[in-house]
Amino acid sequence: MRRVLTTLGVAALICSVSVVPTVAANVAILMPGSSGLVPGDFLVRNQSRIEAAGIRTILTTSPSAAAEAIAAEAAQGRKAVLVGMSKGSVDIAQALASGAKPAGAIFVSGIHKQVMATLGSPDRLPATLVVHHSRDICRFTLPSDAAEFVSWSRGKARATWINTSGEPSDNPCNARGAHGFFRQDGPAISAIIGFIRSR
C-alpha cells in the first residue's frame, strides 16, 4: 500500500511540474530614437516581429528605467538585452555607465561617437552587436563612426552591415531613408533576433 501511495505521489509531482508555465528565456529592452514611442520608429514598428520570435519586449526611453528593468529581470533569473535605435544607443550607453549589466547590447544606426564619449572606455560594454546601413548618410550616424566603434570596443562588438536599397528620404536622419533601412527591416530584424537568442 505504501509503495502504491509513493508511486501516486511521484506521478502527482510530475503532473504539477509539467503545468508550470515556461519562463521566457530572453527579454529585449527596446529604446527608440529621438522621436520617442512613435509608430514609425524602427523598434516600435518591429516590436511585434520581435515578440513573434518568442522574445518579450519592454519599451522605454529612460536609461534609469532600462537599468531597473535589467535588474528586475536578473532577479527573476532572466536575461535582458538592450536594443537602441539611433539616440536610443546613447540611452543604452547611459544605462551601462550607471552600472546596468545586460546580457548584451545592440546599437541600431547608433550615434557611436556619443556612445564612446559617454562610456569613456569599452570596459562596461557587454557583448555588443552593431546593426548599421552601409549607406547611412545621417551626419550623426555615419558608417565610418560605426566601424570606429567596433575597433574601439576591443573585440566586444561586431557589426552586421545592411545594404537594402530604396528611395532617399528628405531627412537623412529619419526612419524612412537608409538610416531606417528604407523600411525594409527584414535583414536588420533577423540579425537582432539572432543575437538576442544567442545571449
The pTM assigned to this predicted structure is 0.87
Q: Where are the domains of the chain?
A: 24-198
Distances (CA, A) of 14 to 1, 18, 160: 20, 6, 44
Closest CA to 176 of 34, 40, 32, 36: 40
Instruction: List Cβ neighbours of 142 (8 Å cut-off, separation of 6 or more).
Output: 136
For 35-72, write each residue's pLDDT tens digit: 999 999 999 999 999 999 999 999 999 999 999 999 99
pLDDT grade, residue 24 (50/70/90)? Answer: very low
Q: What is the CATH number of domain 24-198?
A: 3.40.50.1820
For 147-159, write each residue's pLDDT tens digit: 999 999 999 999 9
